[in-house]
């Protein structure tokens, strides 16, 4: 009887050792081992403006009359006028001195040039600067929850994770999802394994404004511990349980 209980307890402890912690192959980034998916590199594509995006528009001109009009309307400093404008449902934006101008689907550089070319018909020395105001991405799931700024072009998935505090140790890194809005269409869902080194330069590597990063809970996380301290505590508890059962069995057989 004692031998049978001892065998069961040993098997229990061995099982805990096998499943009780997270090996590098499950949670490590930039792995090159066989068995992981391979993603092909793709050329980076600049963000294209969507309906309901808000652009920050700045006009620089030496024309004092135009500057005074802009100052009165916007409360800006003379000669450098900044204002936010939303892209309407028809894809156009309303700017001072111009008819509604279609800019949806353009990159910021393309939209800036279109606006500047149109503005120079009215103001020959006009210099236009354009920026996106809603430059944020969101996170949800076992990565936390929040909204963060896309502070530069070509923000990578790893830089985004660093801003959010990394993926939780219990998160399923095999199935990270990016939900990406597409103008006037259904959003696309990109699912990928973030552990593989081949993610660098792939279609999953860069984060765009309005992206949502979602990480689900790993199915086997309930049986695992988050740290070595917790793992040692689990083993200690198992050993104590084994000793208690052994002592109890010995007393009964006496």
Same domain? 232 vs 218: no
Which residue shows structure tokens 């204002």?
Answer: 83
Percent of the chain with pLDDT over 90: 57
Same domain? 181 vs 216: yes
Same domain? 74 vs 116: yes
Same domain? 77 vs 94: yes
Question: What is the average per-residue pLDDT within 10-17?
Answer: 51
Q: How far apart are the first and last CA of the chain?
A: 13
pLDDT of residue 78: 43
Average predicted confidence (pLDDT) for the chain: 82
Residue 49 included in any domain: no
From 78, 111, 132, the end of a domain falls on 132
3-state secondary structure the chain: CHHHHHHHHHHHHHHHHHHCCCCHHHHCCCECCCCCCCCCCCCCCCCECCCCCEEEEEEECCCHHHHHHHHHHHCCCCCEEEEEEECCCCCEECCCCCCCEECCCCEHHHHHHHHHHHHHHHCCCCEEEEEECCCEEEEEEECECEEEECCCCCEEHHHHHHHHCCCCCCEEEEEEEEEEEECCEEEEEEEECCCEHHHCCCCCCEECCCCEEEEEECHHHHHCCCCHHHHHHHHHHHHHHHHHHHHHHHHHHC
pLDDT of residue 243: 60
pLDDT digits (tens, 9 = 90+) for 222-238: 444 444 455 555 556 65
Residue 187 included in any domain: yes
> Does residue 149 surpass a pLDDT of 60?
yes
96: which 2 tokens? Answer: 């001072």
7: which 2 tokens? Answer: 């065998």
pLDDT digits (tens, 9 = 90+) for 22-58: 678 888 999 999 999 999 999 999 999 999 999 998 8
Same domain? 111 vs 216: no
CATH of the domain at 122: 3.30.1950.10
Same domain? 119 vs 13: no
Same domain? 142 vs 216: yes
Q: Which domain holds residue 75?
A: 54-132
pLDDT of residue 39: 97
Same domain? 158 vs 216: yes
Same domain? 128 vs 73: yes
Question: What is the average per-residue pLDDT within 2-20?
Answer: 52
Does this model's pTM top 0.95? My answer is: no
Same domain? 121 vs 230: no
Same domain? 213 vs 151: yes
Same domain? 162 vs 96: no
Residue 157 included in any domain: yes
Q: Round to whole Å and give the CA distance between 194 and 28.
A: 9
pLDDT of residue 221: 42
pLDDT of residue 199: 97
């Amino acid at each position: 009887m004692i031998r049978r209980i001892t065998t069961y307890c040993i098997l229990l402890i061995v099982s805990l050792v096998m499943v009780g912690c997270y090996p590098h192959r499950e949670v490590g980034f930039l792995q090159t081992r066989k068995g992981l998916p391979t993603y092909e590199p793709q050329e980076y594509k600049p963000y294209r403006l969507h309906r309901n995006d808000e652009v920050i528009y700045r006009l620089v001109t030496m024309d004092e009359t135009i500057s005074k009009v802009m100052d009165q309307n916007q409360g800006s400093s003379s000669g450098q006028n900044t204002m936010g404008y939303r892209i309407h449902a028809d894809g156009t934006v309303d700017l001072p001195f111009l008819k509604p101008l279609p800019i949806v689907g353009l990159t910021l550089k393309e939209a800036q040039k279109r606006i500047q070319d149109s503005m120079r018909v009215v103001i020959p020395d006009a210099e236009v600067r354009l920026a996106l105001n809603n430059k944020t991405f969101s996170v949800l799931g076992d990565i936390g929850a929040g909204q963060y700024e896309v502070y530069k072009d070509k923000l990578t998935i790893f830089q985004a994770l660093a801003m959010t505090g990394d993926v939780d140790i219990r998160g399923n890194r095999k199935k990270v999802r990016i939900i990406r809005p597409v103008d006037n269409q259904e959003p696309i869902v990109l699912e990928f394994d973030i552990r593989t080194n081949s993610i660098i330069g792939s279609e999953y590597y860069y984060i765009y404004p309005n992206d949502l990063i979602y990480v689900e809970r790993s199915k086997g996380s309930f049986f695992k511990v988050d740290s070595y301290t917790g793992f040692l505590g689990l083993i200690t508890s198992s050993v104590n349980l084994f000793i208690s059962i052994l002592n109890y069995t010995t007393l009964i057989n006496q």
